[in-house]
């Protein structure tokens, strides 16, 4: 259901009012309108650039809608459309040199170890190719007249973008959504005056593709990526094949193909269905010439075209809205929903407090996750989710595995969208194949590994430069998400068949990769604290080291997860015992004498950039849990680490700021968490609410969404904690549908900073501890029953 009573239309209605009945109707509508608008992003002008357009997506296809009245641009994406191809990027010299490099590094010869690694560890080829745009769908209306009463919106409850305006007394309306059930993008255009809808429709891509009319009402794009870099490296060149297919169905008038466009004249409504496919095979992590992308497109379009527009919309809404509606969040405060979103953003940038914008941001994060990672069978959300306008995107819009990909999935479970997690889980599972080869060929090790980024072809070697890429525990990091998903869902089949085998092999890699240092500790070498540099005693900058704190925390997290999973699944006790023995020989997490914060590297080096965006040594605070309130010293040191980073300009990228929100939530400091939510909105959020690094990068949206949830509910510490980091600004509010580990859905209402109503719904039932302030109670919930906490917890 869409509510289109707009800001501009609401007030004229008042002046027309004739009777009391009308007044009541108007008040009801206004109330309904205000409520409906809380899940709306809306604007009174079209997007002037890509960064202001509105995203839609079904997990496989995405689009950015500009909403231009005359010459509409709908930029399209298909998630697998990447340049490049599958190559073995493991440096063939690695295995023969790895022991020498390891010895150099643990003996403190950082410089020589770095030099050798550049030669013998860096990937061949060293760089990934990019995720690419599919092209643009163009709609030319050539309206003769002034555009009035313009409005553009995205309704998060329905997943529909709407554009409407009037020209010469005719109201034109467009609705666009990406349908998961029908695997396509649908655009519906209508004119209020019968027969007055006229437009031309084109499809364009600047390279590697041609567009032709396949019939009077369809356009087809035929393409194959020609990649000069891959060709030069002698590793391909004529790569991914792809197609896009567009069908126009008008209710009346004439529809014909002219000059490579479809031209519609004299219609009242038209429905445009768009789909695309490539010959990429997710099972093989490569393109596969047995896949006929043209046939796939034709069958999707002919299936979808059987339904009238209303039915396509109903099918989409039924599938989308059900999942989206699982969480309701109200953070109280004034209702500014009748102010356009860009103006609200501007006010917040200037210091205004708009709690409902924070709630909208949270819901937008959930929307983005559903739109870029809907359910099994698609690729996970990349650095830009699924939305990319470039041929060579920033960081190739790849899958960065030293924080960004993991961050994308932090909200999946707590924000009640567990199905969105599965594309990630399956992808990680697939990465084991090349990851095993990398473990074997580079390190002569068991198990599987991956470094700091990968692409759809599953490269697992070291990329970009050893200083960035030598991050050999990224598999352990990816496994944290896998384990957390189990802790939320308690799904033992998932644990047995997917998560545990992947975790176990990641642990096998660590077991065979660790070496002893001079103190007898088991250490990772070579490694880095992601992307951060230190000053060596001689004054030079270094990144290369061994056993950075993050690695110790990652191993602790992976091994504790494996021990717990192995116990549940009754796995080989000898293997589990081996993990326990390793845990006892890891270097400790130390406190830096220099700063009083958590020490980032094995040596207490001076930081080259004290405000660095990565805060990897606090991984044990969030998403890990080695740094807990009970360990007072580490907990206090973590606070110092954060304060120091922030005092030196930290949090300057959106994703870094989002991580800080989660850190402060875990530090139970609602005020500082809130300040960082505010800073995320003020400094790292575009008018369309997408996160910026800058440039646009989606991880901050997902990390920010997770952070808001983490302020309201935590469940990692052996108990479910209600409102652990509630800031004064959010002193009145309610939430329904957040999920705690163990599969407990939580409903809470609070007033003047105090919880006044709380209940849990447990799908599977079970015993749990629940904490609010200083009260900790034990509950034993029955499966499927709502368990009110009011009596025991809120006296």
The residues that touch ligand FUC, with contacts defined as CB under 6 A, are 383, 395, 400, 402, 404, 531, 613-614, 653, 655, 693, 697
DSSP-based helix, strand, coil % in the chain, nearest 5: 35, 25, 35
Q: Which is nearer to ligand FUC, 692 or 738 (CB)?
A: 692
Measured CA to CA, the distance from residue 572 to residue 604 in angstroms comes to 38
Specify the 3-state DSSP secondary structure of 1. Answer: coil
Nearest to ligand FUC of 316, 400 (CB atom): 400
739 contacts 757 by C-beta, under 8 angstroms: no
127 vs 441, beta carbon nearer ligand FUC: 127
How do 61-65 and 71-78 pair as beta strands?
antiparallel
Contact between 84 and 134 under an 8 Å Cβ cutoff? The reply is no
Q: Which is nearer to ligand FUC, 37 or 388 (CB)?
A: 388
Paired sense of beta strands 766-772 and 775-781, if any: antiparallel
Residue 613 C-beta: closest distance to ligand FUC, Å: 5
> Please, what is the minimum distance in Å from the beta carbon of residue 402 to ligand FUC?
5
Task: Provide, rounded to whole angstroms, the least separation between the CB of residue 655 and ligand FUC.
Answer: 6
Residue whose beta carbon is closest to ligand FUC: 395
Q: How far is the CB of 353 from ligand FUC (least distance, A)?
A: 28
Residue 656 Cβ vs ligand FUC, minimum distance, rounded to whole Å: 7
In the complex with ligand FUC, the residue whose CB is nearer, 278 or 653, is 653
Which of 330, 609 has the CB closer to ligand FUC? 609
| In the complex, least distance from residue 602 CB atom to ligand FUC, rounded to whole angstroms | 21
Minimum CB separation of residue 512 from ligand FUC in Å reads 27
Supply the minimum distance, in Å, between the C-beta of residue 723 and ligand FUC.
31
Nearer of residues 138 and 407 to ligand FUC, judged by Cβ: 407
CA distance 526 to 505: 20
Would you state the structure tokens that stand for residue 464, as one six-digit string? 């970009």
CA nearest neighbour of 721 among 675, 768, 767:
768
Cis geometry, peptide bond prior to residue 526 (ω within 30 degrees of 0) = yes
Q: Which is nearer to ligand FUC, 174 or 614 (CB)?
A: 614
Taking each helix axis from N to C end, the angle separating 355-372 and 670-683, rounded to the nearest 10 degrees, works out to: 70
Q: Which residues are CB-neighbours of 526 under 8 A, at least 6 positions away? A: 101, 102, 105, 113, 117, 121, 466, 470, 472, 544, 545, 546
DSSP string across 467-519: HHH--TTHHHHHHHHHHHHHHHH--HHHIIIIIHHHHHHHHHHHHHH-EE-TT
Check: CB of residue 711 under 8 Å from CB of residue 674. Answer: yes
CA atoms of 578 and 563, how far apart (whole Å): 10
Peptide bond into 695 cis (omega under 30): yes
Coil vs helix vs strand at 124: coil
Closest to ligand FUC by CB, 342 vs 531, is 531
Confirm if 334 and 3 have CB atoms less than 8 A apart: no
The least distance separating ligand FUC from the CB of residue 74, rounded to whole angstroms, comes to: 26
Q: Which two tokens stand for residue 564?
A: 């717990």
The candidate with the shortest Cα–Cα distance to 543, out of 554, 553, 533, is 533
CA-nearest of 530, 614, 601 to 105 is 601
Q: Which is nearer to ligand FUC, 376 or 649 (CB)?
A: 649
- How far, in Å, are 397, 598, 612, 619 from residue 530 at the CA level? 18, 15, 10, 11
Q: Closest approach of Cβ 638 to ligand FUC, in Å?
A: 20
Shortest distance, CB of residue 468 to ligand FUC, whole angstroms? 7
- Of 160, 162, 167, 161, the C-alpha closest to 141 is 167
- 79 φψ region: left (φ > 0), alpha (ψ -120 to 50), beta (else): alpha
Nearer CB in complex with ligand FUC: 696/744: 696
Min dist CB 777 to ligand FUC, Å, is 42
At 38 the three-state DSSP class reads coil
**Beta carbon nearer to ligand FUC, 464 or 631:** 464
Beta carbon of residue 17, minimum distance to ligand FUC (angstroms, whole number): 53
The nearest distance, CB 404 to ligand FUC, in angstroms, is 5
Q: Per DSSP, what are the bridge partners of residue 248?
A: 272
Nearest approach, Cβ of 790 to ligand FUC (angstroms)?
44
Nearer to ligand FUC, 261 or 531 (CB): 531
Distance of closest approach, residue 400 Cβ to ligand FUC, in angstroms: 4
- The candidate with the shortest Cα–Cα distance to 120, out of 394, 461, 349, is 461
Sign of the torsion formed by the C-alpha atoms of 154, 155, 159 and 162 = negative
Phi, psi of 496 (to 5 degrees): -70, -45
Nearer to ligand FUC, 130 or 190 (CB): 130
Residue partners of 773: CB distance under 8 A and separation at least 6: none
Q: Which is nearer to ligand FUC, 38 or 653 (CB)?
A: 653
Q: Rank residues 278 and 549 by Cβ distance to ligand FUC and give the closer one.
A: 549
């Amino acid at each position: 259901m869409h509510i289109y009573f707009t800001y501009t239309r609401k007030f004229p209605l008042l002046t027309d009012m004739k009777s009391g009945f009308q007044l009541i109707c108007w008040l009801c509508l206004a109330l309904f309108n205000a409520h409906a608008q809380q899940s709306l992003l809306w604007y009174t002008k079209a997007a002037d650039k890509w960064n202001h357009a509105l995203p839609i997506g079904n997990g496989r296809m995405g689009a950015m809608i500009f909403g231009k009245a005359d010459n509409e641009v709908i930029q399209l994406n298909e998630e697998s459309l990447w340049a490049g191809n599958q190559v073995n990027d493991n440096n063939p010299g690695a295995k023969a040199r790895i022991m020498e490099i390891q010895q150099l590094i643990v003996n403190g010869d950082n410089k020589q170890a770095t030099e050798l690694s550049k030669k013998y560890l860096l990937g061949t080829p060293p760089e990934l190719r990019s995720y690419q745009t599919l092209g643009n769908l163009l709609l030319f209306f050539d309206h003769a007249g002034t555009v009035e009463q313009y409005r553009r919106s995205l309704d998060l409850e329905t997943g529909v973008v709407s554009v409407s305006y009037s020209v010469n007394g005719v109201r034109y309306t467009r609705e666009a959504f990406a349908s998961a059930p029908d695997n396509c993008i649908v655009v519906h255009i209508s004119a209020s005056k019968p027969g007055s809808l006229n437009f031309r429709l084109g499809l364009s891509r600047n390279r590697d593709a041609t567009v032709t009319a396949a019939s009077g009402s369809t356009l087809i794009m035929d393409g194959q990526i020609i990649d000069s870099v891959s060709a030069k490296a002698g590793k391909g060149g004529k790569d991914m094949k792809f197609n896009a297919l567009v069908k126009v169905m008008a209710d009346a008038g004439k529809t014909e193909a002219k000059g490579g466009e479809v031209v519609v004249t004299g219609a009242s409504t038209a429905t445009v269905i768009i789909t695309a496919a490539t010959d990429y095979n997710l099972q093989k992590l490569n393109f596969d010439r047995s896949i006929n992308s043209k046939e796939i497109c034709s069958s999707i379009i002919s299936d979808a075209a059987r339904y009238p527009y209303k039915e396509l919309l109903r099918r989409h809404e039924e599938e989308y809205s059900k999942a989206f509606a699982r969480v309701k969040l109200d953070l109280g405060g004034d209702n500014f929903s009748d102010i356009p979103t860009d103006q609200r953003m501007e006010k917040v940038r200037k210091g205004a407090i708009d709690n409902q914008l924070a709630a909208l941001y949270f819901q937008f994060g959930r929307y983005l996750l559903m739109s870029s990672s809907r359910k099994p069978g698609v690729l996970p959300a990349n650095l830009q989710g699924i939305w990319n306008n470039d041929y060579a995107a920033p960081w190739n819009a790849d899958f960065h595995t030293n924080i960004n990909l993991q961050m994308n999935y932090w909200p999946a479970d707590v924000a009640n969208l567990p199905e969105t997690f599965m594309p990630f889980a399956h992808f990680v599972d697939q990465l084991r194949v090349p990851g095993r080869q990398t473990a074997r060929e580079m390190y002569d090790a068991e198990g599987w590994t991956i470094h700091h980024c990968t692409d759809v072809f599953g490269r697992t070697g070291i990329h970009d430069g050893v200083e960035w890429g030598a991050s050999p525990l990224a598999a352990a990091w990816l496994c944290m998400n896998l384990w957390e998903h189990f802790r939320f869902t308690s799904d033992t089949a998932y644990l047995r068949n997917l998560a545990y085998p992947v975790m176990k092999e990641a642990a096998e890699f660590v077991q065979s990769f660790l070496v002893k240092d001079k103190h007898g500790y088991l250490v990772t070498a070579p490694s880095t604290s992601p992307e951060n540099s230190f000053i060596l005693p001689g004054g030079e900058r270094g990144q290369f080291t061994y056993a950075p704190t993050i690695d110790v925390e990652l191993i602790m997290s992976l091994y504790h997860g494996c021990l717990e999973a192995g116990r549940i699944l009754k796995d080989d006790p000898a293997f589990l015992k081996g993990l326990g023995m390793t845990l006892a020989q890891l270097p400790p997490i130390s406190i830096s004498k220099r700063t009083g914060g958590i020490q980032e590297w094995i040596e207490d080096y001076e930081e080259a950039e004290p405000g660095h965006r990565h805060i990897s040594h606090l991984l044990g605070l969030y998403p890990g849990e080695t740094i807990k309130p009970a360990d007072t010293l580490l907990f206090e040191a973590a606070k110092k680490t954060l304060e120091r980073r922030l005092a030196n300009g930290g949090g300057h990228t959106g994703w870094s700021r989002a991580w800080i929100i989660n850190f402060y939530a875990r530090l139970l400091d609602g005020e500082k968490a809130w300040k960082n939510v505010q800073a995320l909105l003020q400094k790292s959020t575009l008018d369309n609410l997408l996160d910026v690094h800058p440039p646009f990068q989606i991880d901050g949206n997902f990390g920010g969404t997770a952070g808001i949830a983490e302020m309201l509910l935590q469940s990692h510490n052996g108990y479910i904690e209600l409102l652990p980091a509630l800031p004064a600004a959010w002193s009145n509010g309610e939430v329904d549908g957040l999920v705690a580990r163990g599969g407990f859905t939580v409903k809470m209402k609070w007033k003047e900073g105090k919880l006044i109503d709380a209940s849990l719904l447990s799908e599977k039932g079970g015993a749990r501890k629940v904490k609010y302030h200083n009260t900790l109670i034990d509950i034993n919930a029955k499966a499927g029953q709502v368990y009110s906490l009011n009596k025991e917890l809120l006296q």
